[in-house]
Chains A and B, each alone.
Chain A
Amino acid sequence: MLWLGVGPDGQYRQTTMHSYGDGTTVSPSTAKKMAEQLKFKDVDDMYDFLNNRHRKS
């Protein structure tokens, strides 16, 4: 399924989430692509946001 939305910066974002179920780890390549699509600085930035709602400044 698609995850999509408009961020606080007004930019549209979308990525693909497979319906594996909660808690399945995605591969490094997939995580990197998702981070790019969601316009995070890198994968660490994305995981930081998902876990702590913080972004790298």
Chain B
Amino acid sequence: MKMLSASIARDRFAELRREALKGQEILIEDSKQLNSPLISIISTELLDSLTDSFVFAPKWEEDEDGSLTVSLDEIDVIGYGETREEAAEVLATAASEYTELYFSELSFYLSPMVNRLSHYPYLRRIARCSGDIAKVKKVLGV
């Protein structure tokens, strides 16, 4: 796996982009700082394929009056309604709202106190729907 300094990567960005599109992951280090964390340049299509394996398994419960509750243990979100369609809509909207909040407050959600790193690949799939609730419902399996 190729590792380059940030300055060299900047100078060779077009070439590295072509390599990433072919499936290569390029690691970038900050050569000015010892032991600085690495970042990766990777194809978005490849990352989409990798996160597609994080599949949601919605759990449905029906009460005596016919109302429905649907839950996603993968991201700790629920939806509910008098019909399946309504519950799915509430779920997808809540999941989208959580996704937007999560990626806007990443340092909080990835902190040890909250510890929701495991939600990341699932929420990335929702984020890639760009707010289209119909697409979100499809990803959620509702």
Contact = CB atoms under 8 A, between A and B. Distances in A.
A1 interface: yes
Interface stretch (B9-17, B61-69, B126-134): B61-69
A12 B114 CA distance: 6
Given A26-B80, A33-B69, A33-B71, A12 B61 contact: no
The A contact surface, by secondary structure, is mixed
B113 A18 contact: no
B113 A2 contact: no
A6 to B, nearest CB: 8
A15 B76 CA distance: 8
B28 interface: no
A15 B90 CA distance: 12
Contacts of B62: 29
A27 B80 contact: yes
B98 A27 contact: no
Interface size class of B (residues with CB under 8 A): 20 to 34
Nearest to A37: B76
Contact of A30 (B80, B94, B101): B80
Contact of A16 (B63, B90, B113, B116): B90
Interface string A1-45: 110101000101011101000000011111001100100000000
Contact of A27 (B67, B71, B97, B116): B67
Interface string B83-98: 0000000110010011
Interface of B: 61-63, 65, 67-69, 71, 76-81, 90-91, 94, 97-98, 101, 113-114, 116
12 contacts: A16-B79, A16-B90, A16-B91, A26-B80, A27-B67, A27-B80, A29-B67, A29-B69, A29-B80, A33-B69, A33-B71, A33-B78
